[in-house]
Structure 1
Amino acid sequence: MTHDEALAQFLLRMGDNTLILGHRVSEWCGHAPVLEEDIALANIALDLIGQTQMWLGLAGQIQGGQSADDLAFLRDAWDFRNVLLVEVPNGDFGRTIMRQFLFDAWHSIVLEQLQSSADDRVAAIAAKARKEVAYHLERSRDTVVGLGDGTEESHSRMQGALDYLWPYVGEMFAVDEVDAIMTDAGVAPNPFDLRAQYDALIEKVMTKATLTIPENRFAHKGGRDGRMHTEHLGHLLTQMQWLQRAYPGASW
């Protein structure tokens, strides 16, 4: 695999993560428990889609002139490179917030490292995205703590959400050829090396939230490349790509 091929795959991973999670979060628009949460989740979704445009836009340039829209709307499920965590359906509000926090914690650590990337384009995107993600993390962290250390019902739901989602966390720290090439070139950090910092952050927050982290910290479901996506992604893409597929090449 060449450097440019690996870089394109890395960019697709970053962009697909934010694209799929952004779409998932947007599903709460008009359905959140209270108006404040409805507005906040909609804004987070918009931030994530904006980040997607930058990551996929650069990936498209490297792959030969494809646009971010081409990559978002014209690929099939097996061509997406996001982690499985972001595909997981929203479930109840507690599961959505826990999923957001588990991703935000990883996202903030990765973006902090990417600001020092040897690729100036990657560093610039990371610097812009990190400001938004700092807010995402603060908000999801505080909500996890508030619900976890809240009523008996909210605590139970948050513990259930953590138990359900934890097996998906390990995939974010898996290392393959793409990661090795990016690390050797100074473009991105080795994912495995970020796990200790991530665990420390998770432990601190879960202690405040009076939640118990499942014991098996290194199990994970799936793998990014050469793996079958869950049925969740196919259903999500049916919604997300419907207009473009129904009217190919249409413009407004």
Structure 2
Amino acid sequence: MSADLFEFLCRMGDNCLILGHRVSEWCGHAPVLEEDIALANTALDLIGQTQLWLGLAGEVEGKGRSADDLAFLRDAWDFRNVLLVELPNGDFGQTLMRQFLFDAWQELMLSALTQSSEPRVAEIAQKAVKEVAYHVERSGDTVIGLGDGSAESHARMQAALDLLYPYVGELFESDAVDQAMVKAGIAPDPESLRAAYDAKLAQVMGEATLTLPDDRFAHKGGRTGRMHTEHLGHILTEMQWLQRAYPGASW
């Protein structure tokens, strides 16, 4: 069970870590100051959640690895994040579309995890779900505003949805690790969240006057470590270089 729980915790933590790093790339580059601050705060929230998930993962593993060790000293094939979060930012609309697609899933997952049989998991979820409730409200409102905005913003948001939707299905992939978590009462089966997620997407995309693709094809491989995009390696090169160059360095 500890191996399955470690894997599950890495999946939760790695999603937050990689997306947090991606969102942080907007710092100093967002369209307006308010958005720059909002994106920076979102990134900080995600990195804070990373510390909690990976910190607990290190404890469960029992090999003396800290959250920093798991973040900075693993190679790409050891990461368990979904492919969606490692994709390039693209333009502002694409970034917020990706954020909403992830936020809507994360809110459902965290809400379920507040009832986890594992007290530490429930505690982390109870803290994080408060932050994510704001994230999903903000990203959803932005998707609606841009989708139902000018012809240019509508076209860009539709293009972003068409590009990113094929990566959504991986969030609901279920394997032996997930089934072990379900059996222990630690986490829900990801597949059980799909109906509520689809309803949320239909509501927001309807208000945004955007059309959801009919095809349910899903790119997969990230959450099992079987296959990541080339982009993850570039992220880790930037994120891990200091620790790799100066092992054990600390502030």
TM-score, length of structure 1 as denominator length: 0.98
Map residues 42-121 of structure 1 onto 2, 5 A cutoff.
42-64=40-62, 65-121=64-120
1:227 deviates by 1.4
Give structure 1 regions of 4+ aligned residues with deviation exceeding 3 angstroms.
none
1:155 deviates by 0.1
Q: Does 1:35 align with 2:27?
A: no
For the residues of structure 2 that align with 1:68 and 1:93, how far apart are their CA atoms? 30
Which residue is equivalent to 1:201? 200
Which residue is equivalent to 2:14? 16
- The AA in structure 2 aligned to 1:63 is E
Q: Percent same amino acid among aligned pairs?
A: 72
Which residue is equivalent to 1:135? 134
Which residue is equivalent to 2:179? 180
For the residues of structure 2 that align with 1:238 and 1:75, how far apart are their CA atoms? 11
1:109 deviates by 0.3
Q: For residues 124-182 of structure 1, what are the alpha-carbon distances to aligned partners after superposition, in whole Å with 9 as ceiling and x for unaligned?
A: 00000000000000000000000000000000000000000000000000000000000
TM-score, length of structure 2 as denominator length: 0.98
Going from structure 1 to structure 2, the CA distance change for 1:226 and 1:36 (only over 3 Å counts) comes to: closer
Q: Any conservation in 1 of the 2:106–2:132 contact (CA below 8 Å)?
A: yes
Which residue is equivalent to 1:165? 164
Aligned with 1:13: secondary structure?
A: helix
For the residues of structure 1 that align with 2:227 and 2:214, how far apart are their CA atoms? 26
Contiguous gaps of at least 5 residues in structure 2: none
Q: For residues 46-70 of structure 1, what are the alpha-carbon distances to aligned partners after superposition, in whole Å with 9 as ceiling and x for unaligned?
A: 0000000000000001111210000
Q: For residues 15-42 of structure 1, what are the alpha-carbon distances to aligned partners after superposition, in whole Å with 9 as ceiling and x for unaligned?
A: 0000000000000000000000000000
Which residue is equivalent to 1:220? 218
For the residues of structure 1 that align with 2:138 and 2:126, how far apart are their CA atoms? 19
For the residues of structure 1 that align with 2:77 and 2:12, how far apart are their CA atoms? 16
Contiguous gaps of at least 5 residues in structure 1: none
1:226 deviates by 4.5
For the residues of structure 2 that align with 1:8 and 1:227, how far apart are their CA atoms? 17
For the residues of structure 1 that align with 2:110 and 2:249, how far apart are their CA atoms? 35
- The AA in structure 2 aligned to 1:83 is V
- The AA in structure 2 aligned to 1:118 is S
Q: Any conservation in 1 of the 2:79–2:225 contact (CA below 8 Å)?
A: no
Q: Any conservation in 1 of the 2:78–2:225 contact (CA below 8 Å)?
A: no
Aligned with 2:187: secondary structure?
A: coil
For the residues of structure 2 that align with 1:251 and 1:120, how far apart are their CA atoms? 31
Superposition RMSD on alpha carbons, in Å?
0.6
Q: For residues 45-99 of structure 1, what are the alpha-carbon distances to aligned partners after superposition, in whole Å with 9 as ceiling and x for unaligned?
A: 0000000000000000111121000000000000000000000100000100000
Which residue is equivalent to 2:189? 190
For the residues of structure 2 that align with 1:234 and 1:193, how far apart are their CA atoms? 32
